[in-house]
Amino acid sequence: VTISPPTGALSMAGIGTAGLGEVLGLFRTRPSLTRADVMQQTGLSRSTVNQRLDALLAAALVVPSGEGSPTGGRPASRFAFNCDRGVLLVADIGATGMRTALCNLRGEVSAEVERTIDVASGPQRVLSAADEMFGRLLAGAGHTAAEVHGVGIDVPGPVDFALGQVVSPPIMSGWDRYDIPGWFEGRYDCPVLVDKDVNAMAFGEQRSAHPAVGQLLMVKAGTGVGAGLILGGEVYRGANGAAGDIGHIQVTVENADIEPVCRCGNTGCVEAYAGGWALIRDLRAAGHDPATVDDAVNLIRTGDVTAVRLARRAGRIIGHAVADAVSLFNPRVVVVGGQLARIEEQLFAGIREMVYRRSLPLATRNLQIVAATLDTRAGLVGLALLLADGIFAPERIGSLLQRA
Amino acid sequence: VTISPPTGALSMAGIGTAGLGEVLGLFRTRPSLTRADVMQQTGLSRSTVNQRLDALLAAALVVPSGEGSPTGGRPASRFAFNCDRGVLLVADIGATGMRTALCNLRGEVSAEVERTIDVASGPQRVLSAADEMFGRLLAGAGHTAAEVHGVGIDVPGPVDFALGQVVSPPIMSGWDRYDIPGWFEGRYDCPVLVDKDVNAMAFGEQRSAHPAVGQLLMVKAGTGVGAGLILGGEVYRGANGAAGDIGHIQVTVENADIEPVCRCGNTGCVEAYAGGWALIRDLRAAGHDPATVDDAVNLIRTGDVTAVRLARRAGRIIGHAVADAVSLFNPRVVVVGGQLARIEEQLFAGIREMVYRRSLPLATRNLQIVAATLDTRAGLVGLALLLADGIFAPERIGSLLQRA
């Protein structure tokens, strides 16, 4: 079972349990509420609020809370979302390693495990490794598989979000159209959310560092280059889940005799110049011998002239693509993360130069271009929050009550 | 008074008139409804629905309707949105002319007038001309200024949507930060919506030809090149209203010795190669003498070799930018309109070639690239629908009742 994307307008529509999902949503975003608070916030009648609250209490989705909780037979006056009614499991799968976590139902991480693994070893090995880690996380906290309310997986490739499948990924060999939710069927009786890693990072950065910002562009500059978009405060995935593919925009490079070939098969892509893999290629051509992207970053940070020149060029090239994205999306904040963001000085200078040179004054006058704050944990943190939002989306209220 | 952008999540929130705006919204999207329909669709109690309906009836926003309307003292059983409670006025201002229309409150055009006028003659002359046309439209239909519920203006330049101001426009000299809503104050006692022309076109095309499509990219290829975005079925404007600026993306052109200078002051922009003004420049350099973009289009349609070569190049260049936009937004439909869309053959071939060459398979497998259907009326039609949505947005319900 995958989680379908949240619906848009007229979310009040529905039959029988009308407004129930929205009442639960209120509890998820507030520490606690009285019956009167719920009436005032929703416009529902006293009797409807009482019915809805009874249903949520019966399902243990909401519990009596704090001050005014029952003492001496007096009925509770305040209620809160029951974030310990179950747990969530998430795995942030990268090119060469993964992080997994156990979370409460607010999407707050309570325990984490990480390990190295090559994503190209294929879905069965990688998902088995994730599930083995999930097992350890559950056992360590004294939980069972039956208590898992949702599983979230993010991957470094394009995802058809509705189907939970990776589609034609450049670096994830063996994963094309693999049924990830299907693999978890029988293991956990809950929805499985599959998303692109940089979407999870974008959501993590927005919720933790820029909660008031509706329009945010997250650029991940690591081995490859990708982007995640937050529009109206939610992840924007496009018609098929392919939105944010900034790494394969074609760029103009002054004094480039030939356009380098990209991993995607095209030439002249952003990441064919500015991705970590391209920096390794060019540093090797210049006589250095970095084995990893981190080696390349460390070389740049030593101040080696060739390395610094390449870093500046990478900054301008990523900046070219960011300028295009700023012209098209007009975000309020651009967050830059990934291993290359550790270069900082040259990278950010190049990005800022190109954005201010190319984009409209109206688009840049309030624009902030900042570094990511969650570092390597952005994906994991964002994925857990995305999963919690998906599980408790108003349209899933029926399934939630059935489970109770 | 400008119309503020619609709010997002938890639109149920509100005090006193909670749910009233949503009940009105239901009536706007359905031919007619019974009390039971409203209860079922909203989950509001019978007594709340009765109160809300009474308020809407008292304000004449809703009226008894069709079958079951009062006969012999029996209370009405069906009700409908009162789209003739007042009128809307819209003006679609182009570079060299404008179209104005009188519309009912559903945003349906009932009368239209057009005239030529140079937008560079400045806001006071252009807005005076629009208002003179508004006056004729009102008089012709027997309406007064007091019946005008909303005024909508679209312009060929970047608009700060929240303020209703044009900001640093490349071709609208004299309009920078001019207070358009302020100009109409005292003339009409109603909100004034100001938007970018291509946003209105995008909305018009989506509502009339692609109503089920949530993600749509509208490209206008005329004198300049611009884009409007529909995301989640609504116009997406970005943080400041600058979204969709596709015409000033920098493109790579094979065999171009020097990058042409753009009207915006940069070099190598899409419209510096592929805008109507650039085609005129290049056709003149090749010995032709087109006076207008339509002349250039007609020359291309005659099959002149130089002209066709330039048209193909324009198609590939616009296609390069559309491919970037497809990679970033993953729309379901790309609509191409504007005067250059009349070239069709060469233009669409170039656009399709670049999009399928550059964008991810996941982003293009269900993508449609189609011609606009509303031709030169797209802006006017879309603007009227946008204005109707703005006027009757749930958060404006208080103002609507006050006006009654």
Whether B3 shows a pLDDT value over 60: the answer reads: no
Which residues, at least 6 apart from B274, have a Cβ–Cβ distance to it below 8 Å? B221, B225, B313, B314, B315, B317, B318, B340
What are the pLDDT digits (tens) for A6-52? 333 233 333 346 678 889 999 999 999 999 999 888 878 888 899 99
The model's confidence at residue A375, banded by pLDDT at 50, 70 and 90, is confident
Q: How far is CA A284 from CA A37, A277, B156, B239, in A?
A: 64, 11, 50, 42
Interface probe with B: pick from A7, A10, A12, A273, most Cβ of B within 10 Å: A12
Question: Would the CB atoms of A266 and B357 count as touching at under 8 Å?
Answer: yes
pLDDT score of A252: 73
Return the percentage of chain A with pLDDT > 70, whole number. 92
A156 Cβ contact partners less than 8 Å away, ≥ 6 residues apart: A93, A94, A95, A119, A169, A171, A172, A196, A197, A224, A226
User: Tell me, what DSSP letter sits at residue A261?
Assistant: B
Q: Does A325 touch chain B (CB under 8 A)?
A: yes
- Give the Cα separation of A370 and B173 in Å (integer): 34
Question: Which residues of A are less than 8 Å from B248 in CB distance?
Answer: 327, 358-360
Mean pLDDT of A380-401: 92
- Helices B293-302 + B276-285 axis angle, to 10: 60
Task: Quickly list DSSP for A284-338.
Answer: HHTT----SHHHHHHHHHHT-HHHHHHHHHHHHHHHHHHHHHHHHH--SEEEEES
Of chain B, the percentage scoring pLDDT greater than 90 comes to 76
Mean pLDDT over A377-384 rounds to 95
Position A259 scores a pLDDT of 85
The pLDDT, as a whole number, for residue A255 is: 64
Distances (CA, A) of A219 to A170, A360, B399: 18, 20, 42
Instruction: Kindly report, residue by residue over B117-149, the tens digit of the pLDDT.
Output: 999 999 999 999 999 999 999 999 999 999 999
Report the pLDDT value the prediction gives residue B290, as an integer from 0 to 100: 96
Average pLDDT of chain B to the nearest whole number: 90
pLDDT value, residue A5:
43
For residue B190, the 8-state DSSP code is S
- Of the candidates A245, A251, A320, the beta carbon closest to that of B327 is on A245
Chain position carrying tokens 């857990």: A384
- Three-state secondary-structure class, residue B383: helix
- Does residue B105 surpass a pLDDT of 70? yes
pLDDT, averaged across chain A: 90
B344 vs B322: CA distance, rounded Å: 16
- Which of A83-97, B54-68, B72-86 reaches the highest mean pLDDT? A83-97
- The reported pLDDT for the residue numbered B8 is 30
Give tens-digit pLDDT for B191-217: 999 999 999 999 999 999 999 999 999
On whether any CB of chain B is under 8 Å from the CB of A110, the answer is no
Residue A349, min C-alpha distance to chain B (Å) = 19
Range with the poorest average pLDDT among A76-90, A260-274, B250-264: B250-264
So what's the pLDDT on residue B251?
A: 87
Query: Which of A43, A47, A244 lies at the smallest CB-CB distance from B12?
Result: A43
A99 touches B at CB < 8 Å: no
What pLDDT score does B2 carry?
53
pTM of the model: 0.89
When pLDDT is averaged across residues A329-354 and rounded to a whole number, the result is 93
Q: Do A328 and B11 touch (CB under 8 A)?
A: no
Alpha helices in A170-292 (DSSP H): 180-184, 197-209, 270-274, 276-285
Distance from CA of B104 to the nearest CA of A (A): 23
Which 8-state DSSP code applies to residue B395? Answer: G
pLDDT higher than threshold 90 for residue A282: yes
* CB-CB neighbors (< 8 A) of A358 in chain B: 248-250, 266
pLDDT higher than 50, residue A58:
yes
Strand A87-93 relative to strand A148-155: parallel, antiparallel, unpaired? parallel
pLDDT digits (tens, 9 = 90+) for A111-120: 999 999 999 9
Q: At what angle do helices B305-329 and B345-358 cross, to 10 degrees?
A: 40
User: Which of A17, A232, A360 lies closest to B8 in CB terms?
Assistant: A232
**% of chain A beyond a pLDDT of 90:** 76
Q: Which residues of A touch B47 (CB under 8 A)?
A: 45
Per-residue confidence (pLDDT) for residue B312, from 0 to 100: 92
Q: B363–A19: do the CB atoms touch at under 8 Å?
A: no
Kindly determine whether residue B248 and residue A330, on different chains, have CB atoms separated by under 8 Å.
no
| Sign of the torsion formed by the C-alpha atoms of A60, A62, A67 and A70 | negative
CB-based contact B249 A327, cutoff 8 Å: yes
Tokens of A354: 């190109």
CB B286 within 8 A of CB B308: no
**A231 near B CB under 8 A:** yes
Residue A236 sits at the chain B interface (C-beta within 8 Å): yes
Q: How many CB atoms lie within 10 A of CB A121?
A: 12
Residue A18 touches partner B, C-beta closer than 8 Å: yes
Q: CA-CA distance, B201 to B219, in Å (whole number)?
A: 9
| Chain B residue at shortest CA distance from A166 | B362
Burial class for A402, CB neighbours closer than 10 Å (0-12, 13-18, 19+):
exposed
- Residue A401's pLDDT is 83
**Alpha-carbon gap, residue B86 to B74, rounded angstroms:** 28
Looking at residue A81, its amino acid is: F
What was the pLDDT predicted at B264?
86
A195 neighbors A90 (Cβ within 8 angstroms): no
B257 compared with B69, residue with greater pLDDT: B257
Confidence (pLDDT) at A41: 87
Amino acid A38: pLDDT = 92
Mean pLDDT of B238-253: 90
The CA angle B141-B144-B148, to the nearest 5 degrees, is 95
pLDDT tens-digit series, residues B318-377: 999 999 999 999 999 999 999 999 998 889 999 999 999 989 888 999 999 999 999 889
Of the candidates A263, A307, A339, A290, which has an alpha carbon nearest to the alpha carbon of residue A96?
A: A339
| Site of tokens 């309310």 | A149
Interface pTM, i.e. ipTM: 0.87
pLDDT of residue A346: 87
pLDDT given for residue A258 in this prediction: 80
Provide the shortest C-alpha distance from residue B139 to chain A (in Å). Answer: 37
Pick from A242, A141, A156, A149: which is nearest to A197 by CA? A156
HSE, side-chain direction, 13 A CA sphere, residue A138: 21
Chain B residues touching residue A272 (CB < 8 angstroms): none
With the C-alpha atoms ordered A313, B362, B214, B205, is the resulting torsion angle positive or negative?
positive
A249 touches chain B (CB under 8 A): yes
Residues 6+ apart with CB under 8 A from A245: A158, A226, A227, B327, B328, B330, B359, B360, B363
B340 touches chain A (CB under 8 A): no
Tell me the residue length of chain B.
404
The first and second tokens of residue B327, run together, are 């990679």
Find where tokens 């998303």 sit: A195
Contacts of B328 in chain A (CB under 8 A): 227, 229, 243-246, 249, 324-325, 328-329
Q: How far apart, in whole angstroms, are the C-alpha atoms of residue A5 and residue B306?
A: 49
Instruction: Name the residue among A12, A215, A324 with its Cβ closest to that of B239.
Output: A215
Which amino acid makes up residue B291? Answer: A
**Would you say A100 and A111 are in contact if contact means Cβ atoms under 8 Å apart?**
no
Q: Which two tokens stand for residue A94?
A: 């990268």
Interface check for A9 against chain B (CB to CB < 8 A): the answer is: yes
Beta bridge partners of B229: B217, B236
Task: Choose the closest CB to A362 out of B160, B232, B268.
Answer: B160
Partners of B224 on chain A (C-beta within 8 Å) are none
Q: How far is CA B275 from the centre of its chain?
A: 20
> How far out from the chain centre does Cα B105 lie?
16
Of B270, B242, B262, nearest to B170 by C-alpha is B262
Distance from CA of A299 to the nearest CA of B (A): 31
Q: What is the pLDDT of residues B162-190, one digit of tens each?
A: 999 999 887 888 999 999 999 999 999 99
Closest CA to B236 of B270, B205, B210, B202: B202
B50 touching A (Cβ < 8 Å): no
Interface membership of A11 toward B (CB under 8 Å)? yes
Among B214, B250, B329, the residue with its CB nearest the CB of A252 is B250
State the best of B26, B246, B362 to mutate against chain A, taking most chain A CBs within 10 Å.
Answer: B362
Q: Among B28, B360, B365, B395, pick the best mutation site for testing chain A contact (most A Cβ within 10 A).
A: B360
Tell me which residue in A42, A252, A325 faces B12 most closely, judged by beta carbons: A42
Q: Please tell me which residue of chain A has the smallest CA distance to B48.
A: A45
Whose CA is closest to A88, among A378, A376, A382, A397?
Answer: A382
In sequence order, what DSSP letters do the residues of B31-53 get, joined into one string? S-B-HHHHHHHH---HHHHHHHH
Tell me if B241 sits within 8 A of B164, measured CB to CB: no
Task: State the Cα–Cα distance between residues A260 and B301, nearest whole angstrom.
Answer: 37
Q: pLDDT of A291-326, one tens digit each?
A: 999 999 999 999 999 999 999 999 999 999 999 999
- The answer to whether A44 contacts chain B (CB < 8 Å) is yes
Report the distance separating Cα B338 and Cα B389, nearest Å.
25
Put simply, whether B336 touches A (Cβ < 8 Å) is no
Both tokens of residue B112? 């239209």
Burial class (CB in 10 A: 0-12, 13-18, 19+), B14: buried
Cβ within 8 Å, pair A168-B332: no
Sign of CA dihedral B351, B353, B354, B360: positive
Cross-chain CB nearest to B238 (options A14, A239, A331)? A331
The H or E element spanning position A98 is strand A97-103
Q: What is the pLDDT of residue B255?
A: 64
Q: How many residues are present in chain A?
A: 404
Query: Among candidates A354, A376, A201, which has minimal Cα distance to A274?
Result: A354
pLDDT of residue A361: 86
Q: Exposed, middle or buried by CB within 10 Å (0-12, 13-18, 19+), for A194?
A: buried
